[in-house]
Amino acid sequence: MRSIGITLDAVTPRPGGDVVAGYRAALDAALDGPGPFLVGGISLGAHVATAWAAERAPAGLMGVLVALPAWTGPPDGAPAAAAARATAAQVRAGGLAAAVAAARAGAPPWLADELARAWSGYGPGLADALDAAAAQGAPDLAALGSLTVPVGIAALVDDPVHPLAAARTWAGALPRAATRTTTLTALGSDPAVLGRAAVRAWRQAASRPDR
């Protein structure tokens, strides 16, 4: 991000059921910052940032960087929501170790390591945070259609939890959007590939006139 003149402010999630409220509070705080800004996130973070941008339409917002949107509207039946609820149940039944063991049995080693690192940061609030994420609605088609700033979407072509179809649905509903794709293997080799894809897509979207 620094290479293109963007200062990154990465938000630490609130543990427990207030995870979404924490993200929204951080977005509200961005309104007090200097100059134009972008908002964005990965998966749940992408949902919250996009919904906030559509609702608030703040002056100075130059666009949204979306990585791995997981569903549109209510989470009913979405693979990511089901996975979050299943992990929450594992944590409550057997603790963090049980959830990490299940991840290592069904995910690439690099992804299991990343999940273990991220989950451990939530402490005893992990299960509640996962349940809150699973219950949180994403922007629906009307909300996406109301967002006029350029949106860059990064998606994986082979991620069953964050299906490419969800990214394509978002791109089709947003007035100014572009999508760039990559793979799980590429992401495992270079975690920055997802951010680069989102920024390139945003630049492409920004070059297009309003519909």
Residue 45: give its domain's CATH number. Answer: 3.40.50.1820
Cβ(55)–Cβ(64) below 8 Å = no
- Do 146 and 201 lie in one domain? The reply is yes
Domain boundary among 133, 154, 171: 133
Query: Which pLDDT does position 71 carry in this prediction?
Result: 98
- Do 123 and 142 lie in one domain? The reply is no
- Do 68 and 161 lie in one domain? The reply is yes
- Do 58 and 150 lie in one domain? The reply is yes
Residue 99 lies in a domain: yes
Residue 113 lies in a domain: yes
What residue type is 185 in one-letter code? Answer: T
Residue 211 lies in a domain: no
Mean pLDDT rounded to a whole number for the chain = 93
Asked if residue 127 has pLDDT above 80, the reply is yes
- Do 141 and 194 lie in one domain? The reply is yes
Length of the chain: 211
Cβ(36)–Cβ(57) below 8 Å = no
Domain boundary among 102, 117, 133: 133
Q: What is the span of the domain harbouring residue 126?
A: 79-133
- Do 106 and 12 lie in one domain? The reply is no
Dihedral of CA atoms 194, 48, 114, 13 in degrees, nearest 10, equals 130
Query: Which pLDDT does position 3 carry in this prediction?
Result: 58
Specify the pTM: 0.93
- Do 162 and 145 lie in one domain? The reply is yes
Number of domains, the chain? 2
- Do 175 and 154 lie in one domain? The reply is yes
- Do 95 and 43 lie in one domain? The reply is no
- Do 87 and 60 lie in one domain? The reply is no
Cβ(64)–Cβ(40) below 8 Å = yes
- Do 50 and 16 lie in one domain? The reply is yes
Q: How far apart are CA 58 and CA 28, in angstroms?
A: 10
Domain boundary among 91, 112, 133: 133
- Do 86 and 99 lie in one domain? The reply is yes
Q: What Å distances lie between residue 210 and 65, 77, 180, CA to CA? A: 18, 33, 19
pLDDT tens digits, 68-114: 999 999 999 999 999 999 999 999 999 999 999 999 998 899 999 99
